[in-house]
Structure 1
Amino acid sequence: MPPGELWTIGELAGRAGVTVKTVRFYSDRGLLPAAHRSAGGHRRYGPGALDRLHTIRSLRAFGLGVAEIARVLREDGGGPDALPVGGALEAAVAGRLREVGSRLAALRWQQTALRLLHDCDPAERAERLRLLGAVCATQAPPGTAAMARFWRRWLPPRMPAPVAARVVDIAVPQPPDDPTPEQALAFARLHAFVSAECTGGGSGQPAAHRAGSGHRPAVLYQGLEEAYDLAAPHLRAGRAPHAGEALDCFVAAYAASLRVADTGAFRRGLHGVLAADPRIDRYWDLVALVTGPDRPTPGAAHAWLTAALA
């Protein structure tokens, strides 16, 4: 391009409506390469640099960092006339969507928490402040790490890692992006419940978790997941506990984990064991408030099946 058709850094800045400092900043970082250098070493830019500068400013307006913009522009050849259309731009936009979605969810949680604090009786405010303050962060929606730790302590130590991970995935509710006041308060109470110091020791574990019980935990929990799925439609329909496929699957999980046959005597003995097992009904009651009535909890399914066994 002949030198007469090139712009100085000031001319480019004026055409783009930005400061010279801005153009120099992007040039120094390799986002806006000069087309030519004058005899005195001054940068000169062609008309394509104006399009490139507009592109950079647009990407910055959406919150992309300089390093991300560099990757986007580099993928498209790095020339001043190249416009970003490839996978790097798609990945950058997807990443920003996730970040913005997370921030919006965090803001919705804060908004709901503030309403709960504003609208409650003054006598409740101190407790709610403590509960909600423990889960409402400024930059992210509430996390579930405390609940995952609770379940990893609750499960038998010899549980295979993939099965334990599946149990945790099923048992730990995800916080809704736009919670109702009831959901937000239930989630905060759930977090407080699992974060409280456990004083029950080993005696608080179900019989199937105890050393020497003979159970194969992986077999048991894989079978229980299927039984809970079969019981869920009955729970949603409000049906009373009864015999059927769900109960047979439930009993079969325990029988298979012990390598014994499903007999009447086994069922009578199993009912006695399950009736005596410790329960964490408070946990499941709070989970039900978080997830809603259309998603019966494993705890509710277990209680329904135990009642059906009786």
Structure 2
Amino acid sequence: MLWSIGELAERAGATVKTVRFYSDRGLLPAASRSGGGHRRYGPEALERLRLIRSLRTLGLPLPGIGRVLDDEGAAGRVLEDAVADRLRELGAELRALRWREAALRLVRECPPGEQADLLRLIGAVSIPPNTAPLARFWRAWLPPLMPARALSAFLELAVPQPPDEPEPAQVLAFARLHAMTTAPCPDGRRPQPEVHRAAGAREVAALYAGLAEAYELAGPLLRRARDPYPGEALDAYVAAYAGAYGSRDTRGFRRLLAARLAAEPRLDRYWELTAVVLTPPGGSPVPTPGSTDDWLRAALERDNAGAA
């Protein structure tokens, strides 16, 4: 039983143009040719065409469909891989659409006189947003010889991941973070803490490892809105700086550390915007390294005041 291209199209509920398209791309080979050179298809072509159309309905690309059809021995695995690839692509497309939707809502809610500046601000951010500029900012700000493992651990804490379903306020906060971290500093360089220059690469790596431990201890206290107080988290915080400066945790060092920290450059605005990006709508503010560091500094001040 052989059918012409028109007969196959009729049985499949497709158009002749569709059948010819798949046939020309090798997905639907003809069983034979008529004396006049016209394609003839067998019953297996009908099932193959139905499968092709089903896979196309799911959005699978033609190369992926070709691999599913050609590798009969591993068709299940190939199909599973193709579906997984398509799901990842759809996830990225959905994130981009949600980000665009939130950005459009932001523009709609903005006063008319501010829309031009807002459009320039959010237009500089790729969709879906990319965190690479924020990571580059921190790589330039941190010590150049910082070990890769310590650098990666800090970047994981310091670089906020954009939410999959953002609110307009989160879109605006991320756009401002992007603008802040890509703008050149007036003097061509970013001010860095004194401890970066006073300590070697090994000491700085130990400092950030110790700070990460202190932040982990203090994080639950911030989530419970506890007032700053001396304790295990502050001890870990002071010990991290003491190791970087080659000192011991003494009462004198705590007073010296408080004075040094007060004179260090601050990145308060960065952490404020990071908190907005990370905090879900209607949720409690998420502790950031900046807010946690502020809590620990306040605990240090309270400890020094109590000792005095």
TM-score by length of 1: 0.87
In structure 1, what is the equivalent of residue 112 of structure 2? 122
Deviation at 1:104, TM superposition (A): 2.1
Question: SS in structure 2 opposite 1:285?
Answer: helix
Deviation at 1:54, TM superposition (A): 1.0
Deviation at 1:119, TM superposition (A): 2.0
Partners of 2:217 and 2:233 within 8 A in 1: yes
Deviation at 1:39, TM superposition (A): 6.2
Deviation at 1:275, TM superposition (A): 1.5
Label 1:227 to 1:55 Cα distance change in 2 as closer, same or farther (>3 A): same
Label 1:44 to 1:124 Cα distance change in 2 as closer, same or farther (>3 A): same
Question: SS in structure 2 opposite 1:7?
Answer: coil
Partners of 1:158 and 1:217 within 8 A in 2: no
Deviation at 1:214, TM superposition (A): 4.3
1:12-64 Cα deviation digits (max 9, x unpaired): 12211223343233233332233445566654322222111111112122222
Bigger drift between 19-28 and 98-107 goes to 19-28
Deviation at 1:239, TM superposition (A): 1.3
1:221-264 Cα deviation digits (max 9, x unpaired): 11111111111111111111111111111112222334433222
In structure 2, what is the equivalent of residue 62 of structure 1? 58
In structure 1, what is the equivalent of residue 103 of structure 2? 113
In structure 2, what is the equivalent of residue 26 of structure 1? 22
Matched, 1:300 2:300: no
Label 1:6 to 1:133 Cα distance change in 2 as closer, same or farther (>3 A): same
Deviation at 1:277, TM superposition (A): 0.8
The counterpart of 1:278, out of the listed 245, 261, 265, is 265
Extract unaligned runs of 5+ from structure 1.
Answer: 79-83
CA distance in 2, matches of 1:20, 1:223: 69
Identity %: 60
1:169-218 Cα deviation digits (max 9, x unpaired): 211111112211211111111111112111356671111222x4346221
User: Any residues of structure 2 matched to 1:26-175 within 5 Å, and which?
Assistant: 26-37=22-33, 42-77=38-73, 84=75, 86-135=76-125, 137=126, 140-175=127-162
Extract unaligned runs of 5+ from structure 2.
Answer: 302-308
CA distance in 2, matches of 1:294, 1:257: 31
CA distance in 2, matches of 1:163, 1:283: 21
CA distance in 2, matches of 1:200, 1:152: 18
CA distance in 1, matches of 2:57, 2:36: 34
CA distance in 1, matches of 2:150, 2:186: 26
Task: Give the aligned residue type for 2:298.
Answer: A
The counterpart of 1:9, out of the listed 5, 22, 26, is 5
CA distance in 2, matches of 1:217, 1:71: 51
Label 1:60 to 1:7 Cα distance change in 2 as closer, same or farther (>3 A): same
Question: SS in structure 2 opposite 1:69?
Answer: helix
CA distance in 1, matches of 2:70, 2:242: 61
CA distance in 1, matches of 2:47, 2:108: 50
Question: SS in structure 1 opposite 2:26?
Answer: coil
CA distance in 1, matches of 2:40, 2:194: 79
Flag the structure with more relative contact order, 1 or 2, with Cα contacts below 8 A and sequence separation at least 6.
Answer: 2
In structure 1, what is the equivalent of residue 209 of structure 2? 222
Q: CA RMSD in A?
A: 2.2
TM-score by length of 2: 0.88
Label 1:206 to 1:20 Cα distance change in 2 as closer, same or farther (>3 A): same
Task: Give the aligned residue type for 2:183.
Answer: A
Alignment length, in residue pairs? 296
Partners of 2:195 and 2:245 within 8 A in 1: no
Deviation at 1:287, TM superposition (A): 0.6
